[in-house]
Amino acid sequence: MVFSSSDHASQLVAGEIADLIKNKKDKGENCVLGLATGSSPINVYAELVRLHKEEGLSFENVISFNLDEYWPMDEDNVQSYHYFMHEHLFNHINIKPENINIPNGKIPQEKIIEYCLAYEAKIKDVGGLDFQLLGIGRTGHIGFNEPGSHYNSGTRMITLDHLTRADAAPSFHGISNVPKKAITMGISTVRSARRIVLLAWGQNKAEVIKETIEGEVSPSVPATYLQKHKNTSFILDTGAASEL
Ligand code: GLP
| 103 ligand 1 Cβ < 6 A | no
Q: What stretch of H or E contains 158?
A: strand 156-159
CA-closest residue to ligand 1 atom 5: 137
pLDDT tens per residue, range 137-190: 999 999 999 999 999 999 999 999 999 999 999 999 999 999 999 999 999 999
The answer to whether residue 242 sits within a structural domain is no
| 212 ligand 1 Cβ < 6 A | no
Cα 131 to ligand 1 centroid, rounded to whole Å: 18
Cα 177 to ligand 1 centroid, rounded to whole Å: 17
- Rounded Cα gap, residues 216 and 72, in angstroms: 34
| 179 ligand 1 Cβ < 6 A | no
DSSP for 2-48, written as a single string: EES-HHHHHHHHHHHHHHHHHHHHHTT--EEEEE--SSTTHHHHHHH
The answer to whether residue 19 sits within a structural domain is yes
Tell me how many degrees the CA angle 41-42-46 measures, rounded to the nearest 5.
120
pLDDT tens per residue, range 103-143: 999 999 999 999 999 999 999 999 999 999 999 999 999 99
Cα 39 to ligand 1 centroid, rounded to whole Å: 7
- Rounded Cα gap, residues 139 and 38, in angstroms: 14
Cα 40 to ligand 1 centroid, rounded to whole Å: 7
The answer to whether residue 244 sits within a structural domain is no
The answer to whether residue 134 sits within a structural domain is yes
Cα 21 to ligand 1 centroid, rounded to whole Å: 24
Q: What is the DSSP letter of 228?
A: G
Query: For the chain, what is the domain count?
Result: 1
The answer to whether residue 218 sits within a structural domain is yes
Range of the domain at 174: 2-237
| 161 ligand 1 Cβ < 6 A | no
- Rounded Cα gap, residues 17 and 192, in angstroms: 17
The answer to whether residue 243 sits within a structural domain is no
- Rounded Cα gap, residues 136 and 95, in angstroms: 26
Q: What is the DSSP letter of 76?
A: T
The dihedral through the CA atoms of 15, 203, 134, 92 has a sign that is: negative
pTM: 0.97
In ligand 1, the atom with minimum distance to the C-alpha of 182 is 8
| 67 ligand 1 Cβ < 6 A | yes
CATH number at residue 167: 3.40.50.1360
pLDDT tens per residue, range 51-106: 999 999 999 999 999 999 999 999 999 999 999 999 999 999 999 999 999 999 99
Catalytic residue among 110, 146, 211, 243, which?
146
CB 189 within 8 A of CB 154: yes
pLDDT tens per residue, range 184-214: 999 999 999 999 999 999 999 999 999 999 9
Whole-number pLDDT of residue 79: 97
Nearest residue to 69 (alpha-carbon basis) of 107, 31, 24, 21? 107
Residues in the chain: 244
Neighbour-count burial for 73-84, b at 16+ CB within 10 Å, e otherwise:
beeeeebbbbbb
The answer to whether residue 226 sits within a structural domain is yes
Active site residue 146: yes
What was the ipTM of the complex prediction? Answer: 0.95
The answer to whether residue 180 sits within a structural domain is yes
In ligand 1, the atom with minimum distance to the C-alpha of 40 is 14
